[in-house]
Chains A and B, each alone.
Chain A
C-alpha cells in the first residue's frame, strides 16, 4: 500500500495517469457495487456507475474557505474525471446551519454521502448513523501517517468514522510588530497570562492602540480566550484534561476567568460587543490594536494580497503565553453516512482527503496545516511551515472546546451559554465557573 500512496505524490504527469486509471478502476467497482447495492430498485436500471452523484456538504462559503474548497474539489475532479459529484456549500458560522441541515437529512433517512464535521466528541451525536471507514484508514496507512491525537479523535465506538483534512492551531497570539516595538514590549518575555496583562498595561500607557482586540458579537471567541488563559497558567494542560473529563478544578477555572475578566474589562476595544473577529483582526493589522487571540484562520486575512501587512515585518505570531509547549487542536474533517447509494464514491472521497496533496493544497489556501505527519513542510507557506514544524515537535494537544472536539454538542452549547449568560459584561466569575463545570459534567 505504501508504494502506491507515495506514487500518487510523484511528478504531475505520472500522477495524472495513475489517477485516471485509478478512476477507471473505481468506476468499475462502483458499477459492480451499484448493481449489488441497488438490487432492490433505485431506478438505475441502466447500470451506469455514475448516475447517483457523490453528495458532499460543507460550510466553506466565503473568502479563503471558498478558495480552498474550490481547489480541493477541482483536484478531486481532475483525478477522478468520470466520477459525478455534487458539492453543496451551506453557510453559517460554527457549522450551525450545516449541522442542522445534516440533522434534518438524517432524520429524513436521506443523508448526504459525506459532510464536513468536527471529529471528537462532536461525532457522538450521530451515533450509529456513521459509516465505518476503518478500511480506508488501514488500506492507505493513514493509521501510521496521521497525527496520533487526530486519529484518535476520528474514532467512535472503536472504529474510524471520520477523515481529518486540516487543522487550525488555536493557542495563538497574533501581534502587531510596530505596536509592540513602540511600547517596548519584548514578545519573548511574555510567557504567562499574567505577564501578558503586564504587557497590556505597558501598551496602554505607551501607545494609542488598544492593547488587545477582541470580538464579542458571538460567544465563542470569549470561550476560547478563557481556556487560553486556563491552559497558560501553571499546570494548565493537566487541569484542562481533567476539566473536559468532567472533573474540573474550580479554583483553577476561577483564576482563569479572573484573568480573562481583567483583560476584557481593562484592555480591549470599546466596540468589542458589536464586532466580529474579522473586524477586530483588521484593527490589529492597522495598528489600532496590539494583538488578537484567535485560531490561525486569522492568518488568512494577513496573507490576502491587499492586506498591506507582511509576516514578521508588520505582524507576527507567538504561542499564547504559557502554552508554548502545546498545540491546541482544532480539526476540520469529513464524516460519512451509512447506507447511501454511493458507498464506493464515498470511499474514494475519503481516501482522497487523506492524501498529502489534498491536505497541503487545501491547508495552504485555508491557512491551516495538514494532519499528515509525513508531509514535506516546505511545501507550506512560511508561516504554516513554522506552525507545522511546531505541530510535529510538541506532544501536548489539548482539544478545542469551542469547536467540537472536546465536548459533544449539548455540553458545548451549555458551555457557550455559561459564557453568554454570565461573562459578556458584566463579568460574573463565580456563576460562569459553576456553569462551565456543570457543562463539562454533562459529558459523562
Chain B
C-alpha cells in the first residue's frame, strides 16, 4: 500500500534545492528516528543474553564470557504452556471472527435494504467501547450464568464435559469472537464497498440468490481482505491481556495465556530478573513479529483501514 509511493512525489523533492547537505540532514533525521524506534527493542535483546545481575551497559551486547542462553531456556520453560493455550484459543477465534465479520459485512454492504445503516452503526460503535464497560457483566456471565468451564449439561445429558483448562479457553475464545466482530466487520465493509455494484446487480438479474452471490462472487473476491483480517485479528487476540486477566485470573492457572504468564514473569521475591523478562517478552512477541515481518503490507493496511 503505502510502500508504493516511489517517484510520484518528486514534486516535493524538486521543491527542495538538491543541496547535498539537505539530503544528508534528511537521512540523519530518518536514522535518528530509526534509532528511537529500535533502541528499546535492541536493549531488550542484548540484555536477554546477559546473566541476571550483570545486565549493565544497556546498549552493548554481552562479551563472550558473559553470553548465556539461560534466560531464553528458562523463559521457554515458563511460557511453553502459554504458547499452547494462546494458539489453541486465538486460531479458532480468529477464523470464526473472519467468517462472521465477512458475512455480516456482506449482508450489510452488498445487499441493500432500508435502514441497514442503523445496524451498521450498531456494529461500528462496538469498535469503540472501552472494555471496562462490560467487564463486570462479562465476569458475572462466565462465572454465574454460563460457567462453560464447569461443563454443560441439558437435563442429565452431559453435552460438554467439565474441563477447567479447555473450558476456560473456550470462554475466552468466544469472548474474543464477540468483541472482535465490529472491527473485522468494518475492515470487510470498507473493502466490499470497493466491489463494483454492477457485478452484484448482474448476478442478481441472472437470478442468483443471496447465498449464491456470496459463495460464488463475494467470497472469492475477498481473499486479499481475508488475509488482512486474519493477520490483524490474530495479532489482536494474541496480544490481548485484559480478558485473559478477567477470565483466567492467574498466571499459575492451567489455562493461562502467554500475555498473562509474561506479565508476571521474572518478578518474584528474588527481585526483578530483567534478562529473563526480556527473553520472555521476545518469545511472547515472536509469532506477531514473524507475521509482521512477513506481512508488513497487510498489517499496515489493516491499521489504516481500522
Spell out A's residues near B (CB within 8 Å): 61-65, 88-93, 97-98, 100-101, 104, 107-108, 110, 276, 278-279, 282, 297, 300
Contact = CB atoms under 8 A, between A and B. Distances in A.
A89 B252 contact: yes
Q: What are the 10 tightest A-B residue pairs by CB atom distance, in nearest-first order?
A: A62-B268, A278-B271, A90-B252, A90-B250, A63-B269, A101-B249, A63-B270, A101-B250, A108-B143, A97-B250
A91 B143 CA distance: 22
A110 B164 CA distance: 11
A297 B143 contact: no
Nearest to A100: B249
Contacts of B249: 97, 100-101, 104
B195 to A, nearest CB: 46
B252 A61 contact: yes
A89 B250 CA distance: 10
Contact of A278 (B143, B144, B270): B270
Contacts of A279: 271-272
A282 B264 contact: no
B205 to A, nearest CB: 57
Contact of B250 (A65, A91, A107, A300): A91
A100 B269 CA distance: 20
A282 B271 CA distance: 10
B143 A107 contact: yes
A104 B164 CA distance: 13
Contacts of B269: 62-65, 93, 278, 297, 300
Interface string B269-280: 111100000000
Interface string B123-158: 000000000000000010001100100100000000
B86 interface: no
Nearest to A58: B252
Contacts of B147: 108, 110
B136 to A, nearest CB: 12
B148 to A, nearest CB: 12
A107 B250 CA distance: 16
Given A92-B264, A101-B250, A278-B271, 19 more contacts: A61-B252, A62-B269, A64-B269, A65-B269, A89-B252, A90-B252, A91-B252, A97-B249, A97-B264, A100-B249, A100-B250, A104-B143, A108-B144, A108-B150, A276-B267, A276-B272, A279-B271, A279-B272, A282-B271
Contacts of A104: 139, 143, 249
**Most chain A beta carbons < 10 A, residue from B139, B144, B264, B268:** B268
Interface in B140-184: 143-144, 147, 150
Contacts of B264: 91-92, 97
A92 B271 contact: no
Contacts of A278: 269-271
B251 interface: yes
Contacts of B144: 107-108
Contacts of B270: 62-63, 278
Given A61-B252, A101-B250, A91 B271 contact: no
A138 B253 CA distance: 36
A343 B114 CA distance: 63
**Most chain A beta carbons < 10 A, residue from B150, B252, B269, B271:** B269
Contacts of B251: 91, 97
Nearest to B158: A43
B172 to A, nearest CB: 14
B76 to A, nearest CB: 18
A65 B251 CA distance: 17
Contacts of B150: 108, 110
A61 B251 CA distance: 11
A93 B271 CA distance: 12
A133 B229 CA distance: 56
Contacts of A101: 249-250, 253
Contacts of A98: 250
Contacts of A65: 269
A92 B253 CA distance: 13
21 contacts: A61-B252, A62-B269, A63-B268, A64-B269, A89-B252, A90-B250, A91-B250, A91-B251, A91-B252, A92-B250, A93-B269, A97-B249, A97-B250, A97-B251, A97-B264, A101-B250, A108-B147, A110-B150, A276-B271, A282-B271, A300-B269
A45 B250 CA distance: 33
Contacts of A64: 269
Interface string B47-60: 00000000000000
Interface in B198-224: none
A436 B249 CA distance: 30
**Most chain B beta carbons < 10 A, residue from A61, A89, A101, A104:** A104
A104 B139 CA distance: 9
B264 to A, nearest CB: 5
A61 B250 CA distance: 12
A211 B143 CA distance: 51
A58 B197 CA distance: 62
A90 B272 CA distance: 18
A62 B150 CA distance: 30
Contacts of B250: 90-92, 97-98, 100-101
A37 to B, nearest CB: 19
Interface string B239-259: 000000000011111000000
A163 B271 CA distance: 30
Contacts of A61: 252, 268
A88 B255 CA distance: 13
Interface string B17-32: 0000000000000000
A90 B268 CA distance: 12
A278 to B, nearest CB: 4
Nearest to A107: B143
A174 to B, nearest CB: 15
